[in-house]
Amino acid sequence: MLQTTDLYPTRERYTEGRIPRNEPVIHADTVQRAEGPLSENELEKYQRDGFLSLEGYFSPQAVAPFFDELDQIEKDPVICRSDQVIMDPNQQKIRSVFDMHNLSSAFDRMTRHPHLLAMVQQLLGSDVYIHQSRINDKAGFCGNGFEWHSDFETWHSEDGMPAMRAVSVSIMLTDNNAFNGPLMLIPGSHQSFVPCPGETPDNNWNQSLRSQTVGVPSRGAVADLANAGGIEQPLGPAGSLLLFECNTLHASNANMSPWPRSNLFFVYNSVDNRLEQPFSGKTPRPEFLGARNNTRPLTAVSP
């Protein structure tokens, strides 16, 4: 298989400093830009910040069945013992469930929701497929946080995603408020790639999905970017959406509140950006973390 030149060396090939982004943030051509569904104003915000918050996009009632289905999955002992379910490092609670769209037809249909698909196709300027889907769950009083990172840094080095042409759609299944560990993002951080120090251990995902140490930028780099762009924390009721670019730096705190925080993530990749060999030189991660086989373009289905 042809391997693209590594434009974003990190880890084994670590260099200090930042590497300017080599591709557009919005891949739509002029016609796709004008056609919508995202307005010029929304596109400009996404371009500038690396994310776009659409508070109250769906009603809480529309997403309630997904939360209930998660509850069922969490009670299924077979699924809970599988690799795709990640437990919280300190508590016997679920932290993440991967491959939601292959576990449940309701989640699968949601990835093809005509409105979601149209927004993502506009941003990526092409047909798309699901690179990864997951629920990140933070139980009340005990859900742990996530370190600062760019998803693209991991997907590039551990999965072989060549370029920054992927977007995460996060759907809040519970309210996200200031107390239950919502996502924090650094506006503008998507404009450069921050190489991360450290070698990638074999099967790093076993560790990194519980608590990440490799693939975390230096504190100095995070401080510089946060001093320049600030930190934002999009909040909203269940049903709110967040679209975020694959290279935007983000993190979240532990959930000290009594209220659960449960967010669904669909990661869409452009069909023109399919995975190659991991740039870390390690063996590829499992299909449920980075799709290699199931990469047919998605077509819309009505909810």
Residues that bind ligand 6CS (CB under 6 A): 132, 134, 146, 149, 151, 154, 208-209, 212, 289
Total residues at the site for Fe ion (CB under 5 A)? 1
289 binds, among Fe ion, ligand 6CS, none (CB under 5 to 8 A by kind): ligand 6CS
Residue 154 binds which entry of Fe ion, ligand 6CS, none, with Cβ cut-offs from 5 to 8 Å by kind? Answer: ligand 6CS
What value, to the nearest 5°, has the Cα angle with vertex 204 and ends 24 and 149?
Answer: 40
Q: Which of 99, 151, 153, 245 binds Fe ion (CB under 5 A)?
A: 151
Decide if 184 contacts 143 (C-beta within 8 A). no
Pairing of strands 166-172, 261-270: antiparallel
The position carrying tokens 């139980």 is 139
Nearer residue to Fe ion within complex by CB, 136 or 280: 136
Count of CB atoms situated within 10 Å of the CB of 38: 23
Tokens representing 158 are: 């551990």
Give CA separation, 248 vs 12, 48, 58, in Å: 22, 11, 24
Q: Does 88 bind Fe ion (CB under 5 A)?
A: no
Beta bridge partners of 167: 245, 268
The item of ligand 6CS, Fe ion, none sharing an interface with residue 161, based on CB under 5 to 8 Å by kind, is: none
Supply the minimum distance, in Å, between the C-beta of residue 149 and Fe ion: 6
User: What are 28's two structure tokens?
Assistant: 């739509």
Rounded to a whole number of angstroms, the minimum distance from the CB of residue 289 to ligand 6CS is 5
For Fe ion, the closer CB: 49 or 151:
151
Choose the contact partner of 279 out of Fe ion, ligand 6CS, none; CB within 5 to 8 A by kind: none
Task: Enter the tokens of residue 286.
Answer: 């499992």
Q: Using CB distances below 5 to 8 A depending on partner kind, what does residue 262 bind out of Fe ion, ligand 6CS, none?
A: none
- Interface segment toward Fe ion; rule CB under 5 A; list 23-31, 101-109, 150-158, 259-267: 150-158
Residue 134 contact among Fe ion, ligand 6CS, none, beta carbon within 5 to 8 Å by kind: ligand 6CS
Cβ 191 to ligand 6CS shortest distance, Å: 19
Residue 96 has φ and ψ, to the nearest 5°, of: -145, 145
C-beta separation of 158 from 276 below 8 A: no
Residue 186 identity (one-letter amino acid):
I
Which residues of the chain form contacts with Fe ion (CB under 5 A)? 151
